Amino acid sequence: MSIAATHLAPQRAAKIAKQLMELIEIQNLQPGDKLPPERQLADLLEVSRPSLREALHILQAQGLVHIRHGQGTFVQEPLVAQELRASMMASTHDLNELFDAREVLEVPASNWAAEKATKEDIRILRTTLNQIDTICAKEPVDYDQLQVLDAKFHLTIVGIVGNRFLNQTLNVLQDVMKLSMDTTLRLPGRKEISKKEHNEILQAIEDGDGALAAKITHQHISGARATALADASE
């Protein structure tokens, strides 16, 4: 093998590793989720399986995936996110602090998502809203699953931005909020309002109207905050 080829090999593996992380973000895979089989990933990225394995080992060394022999490769939460989660879980948080954090993270992310969203991103968001509609149409409503899908919708929007730290931070925040409070979707009228605002946010993102997407996202979080605080005071 030539010196040039030897030099290019690590660069090629690093490029494939970056493509894998983009795929994880596009598909909104969460810690613990399994990646597609090697053959499928190699075909999807149009790379050889040895090159793919090298890229996967790079991600494993970075703490982003975990390779379990005989079982597959799984998404792993980065150490920095694990430390942030442990720190936040160990503390008591005021509801206003949690909703303030949501606004800081999600309002600008909705604006940026309107600039960057692809047709595939829109399809994933719409599929999630369709799944929410299906859950809401059944009685009794499975609020645990509804909460998971609600979080997925917002995490997908942040994921479109392509900032892994932002995505990891919101992931941790969603878990802390789930631990700190019951979902506001259980409260009268909130489910219907949330559905309407979700669809308006998606439409604004699809139209490329970042300012409107950010405005409705702010309205959405403010409404959830008011509902949560009113419920907590009763």
Whole-model pTM: value is 0.67
Which residues, in sequence order, are bridge partners of residue 192? none
Q: How far apart are CA 221 and CA 219, in angstroms?
A: 6
Instruction: Supply the mean pLDDT for the chain.
Output: 85
Indicate left, alpha or beta for 92 from its phi (over 0: left) and psi (-120 to 50: alpha). beta
Q: How far apart are CA 107 and CA 88, in angstroms?
A: 22
pLDDT tens digit string along 210-224? 999 999 999 999 999
User: Span 44-71, mean pLDDT?
Assistant: 87
pLDDT at 24: 84
pLDDT category, 9, cuts 50, 70, 90? low
CA atoms within 13 A of residue 7's CA, in its CB half-sphere: 3
Any idea where the domains of the chain sit in the sequence? 3-75, 80-233
Q: What length is written for the chain? A: 234
User: Span 60-84, mean pLDDT?
Assistant: 79
CA atoms within 13 A of residue 24's CA, in its CB half-sphere: 25
Most confident segment among 93-107, 111-125, 171-185, 205-219: 205-219
pLDDT category, 87, cuts 50, 70, 90? low
3-state secondary structure of 196: helix
pLDDT at 6: 38
Q: Which CATH class is domain 80-233?
A: mainly alpha
Q: How far apart are CA 200 and CA 215, in angstroms?
A: 10
Contacts of 140 (CB under 8 A, 6+ apart): none
pLDDT at 108: 96
206 or 163: which leads in pLDDT: 206
pLDDT at 7: 38
Q: How far apart are CA 215 and CA 17, in angstroms?
A: 35
pLDDT at 3: 39
pLDDT tens digit string along 165-202? 788 788 778 877 876 667 788 888 899 999 999 999 99
11 or 88: which leads in pLDDT: 11
pLDDT at 216: 98
CB 174 within 8 A of CB 32: no
Q: Is the pLDDT of residue 1 over 60?
A: no
Which one is the CATH code of 3-75: 2.30.110.10, 2.40.37.10, 1.10.10.10, 1.20.140.10? 1.10.10.10
CB-count exposure of residue 217 (10 Å: 0-12, 13-18, 19+): buried
